[in-house]
Amino acid sequence: MNAPLPNQVADTLQADSLKLFQPLRIGDIEVTNRVVMAPLTRSRADEPSGDVPGSEMNIEYYRQRSGAGLIISEGTQVSPLGKGYMATPGIYSDEQVEGWKPITRAVHEAGSKIVAQIWHVGRVTHPDLIGGAQPLAPSAIQPHIVAYTHGGKVDAPIPHALSLEEIHEVVNEYRRGAANAIRAGFDGIEIHGANGYLIDQFLRDGANQRTDQYGGSIENRCRFALEVVDATIAEIGAGRVGIRLSPVTPANDLSDTDPQAVFGYLVQELNKRGIAFIHFIEGATGGPRDVPGFDFGWARTTFKGVYIANNGYDRAMAIEAVETGRADAVAFGRLFISNPDLVQRLKLDAALNAPHPQTFYTPGPVGYIDYPAL
Ligand code: 8OZ
């Protein structure tokens, strides 16, 4: 590492006055800056021992990124059937809880905060990944996607439509995930309500054709999401609960005929519950931001909790968004993969390492803990 040059010191001082680098209260969680590390699937948990995280390499990965005001963990499945990719960590077994502990401890020792993203993929999986079972979903509608199995890429099959009793069980899996997150030392949770996974499958009519109280009307399609929110609030308190939403993304073959109506109702219901934050993917996940169908500006002014913005932000966009109040905080995904010291680089306006997609999901340290800091 080179000693900072005098002009870098000046840049840092100037940057410190920017809101992006100033503290924020997110529900019950105090963070030192408004740069958030987005949840990032990296497929480096220990699969043979039961999708357990906490290897030295996993600890080091999160420790390196603790310059973020808030880290949102990679998606952690709330049950074996909630898994959709190889070697993703869980948050349902005692071994997994123990595995997360050294990670949350390392992040806290480095002065940051970390919430667990709790996740059920629903129909976005394959029997190969879930012990031979049939994937679960609101309705038996096959997604037009490929699943990444141990045997290679395979079409995702037709899922099993959840019974009312099964829905209740899955809500309780999220509840257990939230309780386990706190036991594991996390500061809170982010409910994964985005990108075409189970909660999103209930919300949007491209995957939900139920005729009972969980389908049809907007209130009915939001019921599952809100039951999950209420169950987790009951377990850990609203000040430690957030949710990630992607009202207009086509990710994982999901769509809706009227996103403004569905997500408008949902945002107002979340307001009533006083949750800590909503993390919005503005546009198509990892793609164009200008996708019509939902007014993110409306959501920002309507929602009383913290608004975390995400999707394709660079330094200038993030500074502008937070400075103008269009967002309270900005989450970076891919740039945090390749820049462990992203906050420092943003402060200095330093050059950024480019991410290498070919090592995003490969086992081992390459492309995981070997990106250089300044
Ligand atoms: C990329 C690869 C695997 C999973 C998401 C959890 O889209 C994911 C994911 C992204 O939210």
Give pLDDT, residue 14.
Answer: 78
For residue range 246-300, what is the model confidence (pLDDT) as tens digits? 999 999 999 999 999 999 999 999 999 999 999 999 999 999 999 999 999 999 9
Q: In this model, does residue 25 exceed pLDDT 90?
A: yes
Strands (DSSP E) found in 81-171: 113-119, 136-137, 146-149, 152-155, 160-161
For residue range 157-198, what is the model confidence (pLDDT) as tens digits? 999 999 999 999 999 999 999 999 999 999 999 999 999 999
For residue range 218-246, what is the model confidence (pLDDT) as tens digits? 999 999 999 999 999 999 999 999 999 99
Q: What number does the ligand 1 atom closest to the CA of 75 have?
A: 6
In a domain? residue 204: yes
Q: In this model, does residue 22 exceed pLDDT 60?
A: yes
Q: In this model, does residue 325 exceed pLDDT 90?
A: yes
Q: In this model, does residue 8 exceed pLDDT 90?
A: no
Q: How far separated are the first and last CA of the chain, in Å rounded?
A: 6
Burial class (CB in 10 A: 0-12, 13-18, 19+), 228: buried
Give pLDDT, residue 1.
Answer: 46
Its pTM stands at: 0.97
In a domain? residue 19: yes
For residue range 35-61, what is the model confidence (pLDDT) as tens digits? 999 999 999 999 999 999 999 999 999
- Report the nearest-CA residue for atom 3 of ligand 1: 41
158-to-207, 208, 210 alpha-carbon distances in Å: 11, 13, 15
What spacing in Å lies between the alpha carbon of 41 and ligand 1's midpoint?
6
For the domain that residue 66 is a member of, what is the CATH number?
3.20.20.70
For residue range 195-217, what is the model confidence (pLDDT) as tens digits? 999 999 999 999 999 999 999 99
Q: What number does the ligand 1 atom closest to the CA of 74 have?
A: 6
- Report the nearest-CA residue for atom 8 of ligand 1: 41
Ligand 1 pocket list (CB less than 6 A): 41, 75, 85, 194-195, 251, 285
- Is residue 174 annotated as part of the catalytic site, yes or no? no
The residues, ordered by sequence, that sit 6+ positions from 130 with a Cβ below 8 Å of its Cβ are 80, 81, 83
Ligand 1 test: best mutation among 85, 123, 145, most atoms within 8 Å of CB? Answer: 85
Q: In this model, does residue 148 exceed pLDDT 90?
A: yes
What spacing in Å lies between the alpha carbon of 364 and ligand 1's midpoint?
19
Q: Which of 85, 174, 197, 307 is catalytic?
A: 197
In a domain? residue 368: no
Q: In this model, does residue 5 exceed pLDDT 70?
A: no
Q: What integer is the mean pLDDT of 360-371?
A: 98
In a domain? residue 130: yes
What spacing in Å lies between the alpha carbon of 64 and ligand 1's midpoint?
21
Among 224, 52, 44, 76, smallest CA distance to 138 is for 224
- Report the nearest-CA residue for atom 4 of ligand 1: 41
In a domain? residue 120: yes
The amino acid occupying position 92 is: Y
Q: How many residues does the chain have?
A: 374
Number of structural domains in the chain: 1
On average, the pLDDT of the chain sits at 97
Q: What number does the ligand 1 atom closest to the CA of 194 have?
A: 11
What spacing in Å lies between the alpha carbon of 252 and ligand 1's midpoint?
9
- Report the nearest-CA residue for atom 1 of ligand 1: 41
What spacing in Å lies between the alpha carbon of 311 and ligand 1's midpoint?
13
- Report the nearest-CA residue for atom 5 of ligand 1: 195
Give pLDDT, residue 11.
Answer: 66
In a domain? residue 1: no
Among 38, 41, 44, smallest CA distance to 59 is for 44
In a domain? residue 370: no
Give pLDDT, residue 16.
Answer: 83
| Whether 29 contacts 113, CB under 8 Å | yes
What spacing in Å lies between the alpha carbon of 121 and ligand 1's midpoint?
9
Domain of residue 58: give its range. 6-359
